[in-house]
A and B are shown apart, each in its own frame.
Chain A
Amino acid sequence: MAAVGIAAGGGNWFSALALGVTLLKCLLIPTYHSTDFEVHRNWLAITHSLPVSQWYYEATSEWTLDYPPFFAWFEYALSHVAKYFDQEMLNVHNLNYSSSRTLLFQRFSVIFTDVLFVYAVHECCKCIDGKKAGKELTEKPKFILSVLLLWNFGLLIVDHIHFQYNGFLFGLMLLSVARLFQKRHMEGAFLFAVLLHFKHIYLYVAPAYGVYLLRSYCFTANKPDGSVRWNSFSFVRLISLGLVVFLVSALSLGPFLALNQLPQVLSRLFPFKRGLCHAYWAPNFWALYNALDKVLSVIGLKLKLLDPNKIPKASMTSGLVQQFQHTVLPSVTPLATLICTLMAILPSVFCLWFKPQGPRGFLRCLILCALSSFLFGWHVHEKAILLAVLPMSLLSVGKAGDASIFLILSTTGHYSLFPLLFTAPELPIKILLMLLFTIYSISSLKTLFRKEKPLFNWMETFYLLGLGPLEVFCEFIFPFTSWKLKYPFIPLLLTSVYCAVGITYAWFKLYVSVLTDPPVGKTKKQ
């Protein structure tokens, strides 16, 4: 009895947290799921019923396979379990098939694969030093980090309600980050290479990995002032890294290269025919750009500076994804976004090269790469904000400045995910969970850093509090006004623009803190 007591009551808070959130995920099974549910069912069917050579050509359903091959193999593995739940879901022609057993299987597969995420969080907690901590368990950085990651609002609603498999993918990413913190660079590189071939969106952060591994792993020593010591370059390490990446890519793309299908695969992976913005504008720079364009065009029309006949009729904020032209400001091409993204990434990458600060510096560069790509990328999904929020959690328990940036980023980022769940029964869930996470994160980080200056200035507090009235207006007041019929896109536009301001501000603040940080010689050993 005592042994059970120690296990259950005494020390294992981590298991209790992990188990608790898993139970919550089970309760979310009957919630609304988006078309992503059908997407994954379709991929189960494709990979199960068709030979490999047809995977990237199959187009019975509109939801064609557009993730890299490892994910396809993952779906193939899942399909072998799926057949014990409901054989019918594996039929390619059963479009929109969602029997209760299918739902159960899919939901449980997400919950089950999250075990990798739990393991990664466990490893990340080991990388946090808890010297600052008080005696109280709930004030230890490890505890706070575990809650911030395991109970992350964005991940919960995107994975377990909207339906996606981000849990184990972020698990891979956090695990590779943890390995880099633990100086196990080869493993970190290997895990990241594997991750890239599961979901290519992680290319956003590839520059950070590339530069860090080159600078801090291939060059084995630094000069006393922190700059690179050219003669410490290790060819062996470079070759082994290259080999790892090459082998992983060969394993992934090899079969398709052999079948001469590489161009088809790449065209599925990078569909540039879609518009600048997703149906609901991700709260990035282009959302602000579009909003400005709209405002200017309205002003221009009122002041009779523009000819109404020359303005295209289609509205960018309707539910369709399409190519689009701006009216007043210059139109944006994919190339332009690429250049903007590269220009935004460059300073942080340079910092990583010239002022390496060990794994912490790498993590900041990673977050900046993710954020910059989010802000300036082409056809960005609002879910991509999680790429920046989750790694930022690791930094938030270290320094007060980082905690403040994390709170602004996560609160606005999470709020920007609200339009994903637009059904009435899910409204209380998203509000309750958002309040839960926000109150906990702000309160615990404030308590952790209570000896330093306050986390928010008056402007930031005002901005964050403004999210409340915004939500009340968009979901409770607007639907009952007469504008709903004339301008149905206003809530989405307001949400997107308001959050874009917050996210851009957080990006800017993080950049400033990275660029103004003293170089490694003057900082404490990481």
Chain B
Amino acid sequence: MEKWNLMAVVVLLGLTVRWTVSLNSYSGAGKPPMFGDYEAQRHWQEITFNLPVKQCAKFINPDWIALHSSRGYESQSHKLFMRTTVLIADLLIYIPAVILYCCCLKEISTKKKIANVLCILLYPGLILIDYGHFQYNSVSLGFALWGVLGVSCDWDLLGSLAFCLAINYKQMELYHSLPFFCFLLGKCFKKGLKGEGFVLLIKLSCTVVASFILCWLPFFTEREQTLQVLRRLFPVDRGLFEDKVANIWCSFSIFLKIKDILPRHIQIIISFCFTLLSLLPACIKLTLQPSPRGFRFTLVSCALSFFLFSFQVHEKSILLVSLPVCLVLSEIPFMSTWFLLVSTFSMLPLLLKDELLIPSVVTTMAFFIACATSFSIFEKTSEEELQLKSFSISVRKYLPCFTFLPRIIQYLFLISVITMALLTLITVTLEPPQKLPDLFSVLICFLSCLNFLFFLVYFNIIIMWDSKNGRNQKKTN
């Protein structure tokens, strides 16, 4: 079958799955007075439309955004409108980026590239949050992906412009900013700071500053307004973490209630230090040896460090880690699929609250089947395929019998999947005990956190041990 027809079929399949998920309930459906993210987005439309008045959206039903009187507005046609906007944003920004990215992959057959597109498009986490819970993550993730594409293909200015747009759309994208910064800085160093590199540095700085100014121009009118925006964007007053999230602080607080013991500013300092320490090695390595491959892996480890150790993290932020992992799906299919499954699982309490059980289970199974058949993941668990060869060789210098790493990893995978499945079953069928009403969510977060810690170590190993063979292997980039 011709390549573009197959690609069209894959994209149509992705779109169909997205739209059918959107037929389900959304966050906060029918739950006054707070409602949920759906109401939040509608409210923001209300605000931006009414204050100050813009002419563009007048032809759409004004009842949906009438100031004040449309609080908590819920109707079928409005739901259709909101869902359609998500689909269109996805179609215009995220999906073309995915297709272009997979087509630019090297040393892979066309069929594998298309299979890659299918797997990325079927990633359950993004579909469930954007089309189920209701958010517009595909816009920011799409822009970030355009950024990655641009920077990897040496279109640095366009790439950084796209990434600035991503940050200005959603400040969560700052999780990805350090790798971008280090990679581009590394490129400048490599080109020599006395010549081309310096020119590139200047050009990049100008692009970034210009795009930021353009986005923030309407809000620079007063200092107080700018500060207010910053306060809203970075709500440090809201505490170390909110609700149940699969990061270190929440899991640690099972044993020791940090939030109550330490004062606010100490919490901020500790979280800052841990985050910085955990991402520093990879970033330094990227600055000294910039390569697209290293860039991708550093994106993963940086975002994961931020997710695990940062301040006021939401469970949806795992999507920021999932996007780079999707990008390395073709290089380490087994581990990536495992990670993406865990990331969806970690959001289970949120998805159950939105009554998205069946779509979650179905999309997770579909994703798993797609990855398993496209990449034959269970056959790719040797040391070399897990990118752990150089690491294992180094360890074997001290421990000659260290050959059992793939075995261990396979067993860990089995244990992880079985516990995830069991916990899902338990959460859905049983009631938690009276004294511990949050037992199941806490268990889910704790387990996911353990998995994520393992992945943090794994990805950092890949990055750090990649240098030994970096100059020898011709096919890394």
Contacts and interface: CB of A to CB of B under 8 A. Distances in A.
B372 to A, nearest CB: 4
Interface stretch (A302-310, A428-436, A463-471): A428-436
B362 interface: yes
B1 A432 contact: no
A319 interface: no
Contacts of A443: 1-2, 5-6, 9
Interface in A25-54: 26-31
A42 B71 CA distance: 41
Contacts, number: 99
Given A16-B373, A432-B12, A1 B378 contact: yes
Max chain B C-beta neighbours (<10 A), residue from A8, A27, A28, A435: A27
A147 to B, nearest CB: 10
Interface in B406-448: 410
B369 A24 contact: no
**At the interface, is chain B mostly helix, strand, loop or mixed?**
helix
Nearest to B20: A27
B358 A23 contact: no
Interface residues of B, number: 38
- Top 5 A-B pairs ranked by shortest CB distance? A5-B378, A9-B376, A443-B5, A27-B20, A8-B372
Interface of A: 1-2, 4-5, 8-10, 13, 16, 19-20, 23-24, 26-31, 138-139, 424-425, 428-429, 432-433, 435-436, 439-440, 443-444, 447
B17 interface: yes
Interface of B: 1-2, 5-6, 8-9, 12-13, 15-17, 19-21, 23-24, 76-77, 80, 83, 87, 358-359, 362-363, 365-366, 369-370, 372-373, 375-379, 381, 410
A525 B306 CA distance: 69
B9 A424 contact: no
Contacts of A30: 20, 23-24
Contact of B377 (A9, A31, A436, A447): A9
Contacts of B378: 1-2, 4-5, 8-9
A444 B2 CA distance: 8
Nearest to A426: B23
A8 B359 CA distance: 22
Given A5-B379, A424-B80, A432 B358 contact: no
A9 B378 CA distance: 7
Nearest to B25: A30
A443 B12 CA distance: 15
Given A10-B376, A30-B24, A424-B80, A432 B366 contact: no
A20 B369 CA distance: 8
B1 A138 contact: yes
Given A23-B366, A31-B23, A439-B8, A9 B372 contact: yes
B253 to A, nearest CB: 37
A433 B362 CA distance: 18
A23 B20 contact: no
A373 B214 CA distance: 67
Contacts of B369: 8, 16, 19-20, 23
A114 B180 CA distance: 50
A194 to B, nearest CB: 32
Contact of A1 (B359, B365, B410): B410
Contacts of B20: 24, 27-28, 30-31, 429
